[in-house]
């Protein structure tokens, strides 16, 4: 089946608009609040002009090392929330919010396992490729390999982007089987799906950047730098949660379009 991006977006937007109160309630608890808490408790360090590249890299690594104990539970919470939202988008039995959350929790290990497998595979390939470039001492080879790794990572991300709906809609709990199914579903449509994701992400990121910048400037003038930082974190978290919600709806619509209707997957209405 040829992927129709216009149809996918219309279905996703209609699903969100029709049920936004319930969707935003779950997204607020599982995605917004963890993101907001992390942003307020761990402000992103800013590099100064006098820092070398190595110093900036070390600063970022130290930041994530300190934040790791908080990042792990935040990731788990947001994964459960995303899977719960996906259940609400796709399950025709109209589960309650509590049932959707329980179903999202049951798919968590499979989803995390699939993500871990992809991350380990890509990380291993990257280490081997960059190790080869370092051993040869060829700067040009290192650049080419970096580009190849980035392109490969994007391609794999697109090919495996339907893993979550495969787990939740088709009830495929084996991470390897879920990844394989996602790979097959996107066959012949990878480029179209990738361009659609890129355009959608670009629109959201530009909107978030502009709105955050404008609010930050006004808040800094009126209330000072610290108040502007807090407000910027709040606004960015809200907009980021909205973007995540729409992306989940889009992934559900793409899966429904490419996999076809199933006994458990239809439309976009629920209680």
Residue 270 above 60 pLDDT?
no
C-alpha pair distances (Å), 19 with each of 10, 88, 257, 261 = 14, 10, 20, 20
CB neighbour list of residue 38: distance below 8 Å, 6 or more residues apart: 67, 70, 71, 74
pLDDT at 82: 94
Are the beta carbons of 23 and 246 closer than 8 angstroms? no
Q: Output 6-11 pairs: Cβ under 8 A, ≥24 positions apart.
A: 7/253, 7/257, 8/196, 8/250, 8/253, 8/254, 8/257, 9/196, 9/200, 9/250, 9/253, 11/249, 11/253, 11/256, 11/257, 11/268
pLDDT at 47: 65
pLDDT at 271: 36
93-102, 193-202, 219-228, 253-262 — which one is most confidently predicted on average? 193-202
pLDDT band for position 261 (50/70/90)? low
pLDDT at 263: 45
CA angle 167, 7, 105 (to 5 degrees): 20
Inter-axis angle of helices 5-18 and 20-27, to 10 degrees? Answer: 90
Alpha carbon distance 76, 156 (integer Å): 22
pLDDT at 264: 44
pLDDT at 146: 85
pLDDT at 265: 40
Segment 221-228 mean pLDDT: 76
| pLDDT tens sequence across 101-151 | 999 999 999 999 999 999 999 989 888 887 877 777 777 887 888 888 899
* Percent of the chain predicted with pLDDT > 70: 93
| pLDDT tens sequence across 44-83 | 777 666 776 667 777 777 877 887 888 888 889 999 999 9
């Amino acid at each position: 089946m040829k992927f129709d991006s216009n149809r996918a977006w219309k279905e996703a937007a209609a699903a969100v608009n029709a049920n936004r109160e319930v969707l935003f309630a779950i997204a607020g608890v599982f995605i917004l609040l963890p993101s907001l808490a992390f942003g307020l408790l761990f402000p992103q360090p800013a590099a100064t002009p006098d820092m070398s590249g190595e110093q900036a890299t070390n600063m970022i690594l130290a930041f994530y090392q300190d934040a790791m104990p908080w990042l792990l539970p935040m990731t788990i919470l947001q994964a459960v929330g995303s899977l719960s939202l996906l259940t609400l988008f796709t399950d025709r039995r109209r589960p309650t919010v509590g049932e959707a959350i329980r179903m999202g929790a049951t798919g968590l290990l499979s989803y995390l396992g699939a993500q871990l497998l992809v991350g380990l595979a890509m990380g291993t390939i990257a280490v081997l490729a960059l190790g080869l470039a370092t051993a040869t001492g060829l700067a040009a080879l290192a650049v080419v390999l970096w580009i190849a790794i980035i392109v490969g990572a994007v391609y794999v991300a697109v090919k495996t982007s339907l893993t979550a709906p495969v787990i939740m809609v088709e009830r495929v709990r084996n991470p390897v089987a879920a990844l394989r199914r996602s790979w097959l579903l996107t066959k012949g449509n990878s480029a179209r799906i990738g361009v659609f994701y890129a355009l959608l992400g670009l629109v959201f990121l530009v909107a978030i950047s502009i709105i955050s910048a404008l609010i930050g400037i006004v808040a800094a003038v009126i209330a000072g730098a610290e108040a502007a930082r807090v407000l910027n974190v709040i606004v960015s978290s809200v907009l980021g949660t909205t973007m995540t919600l729409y992306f989940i709806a889009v992934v559900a619509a793409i899966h429904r379009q490419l996999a076809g209707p199933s006994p458990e997957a239809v439309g976009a209405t629920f209680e």
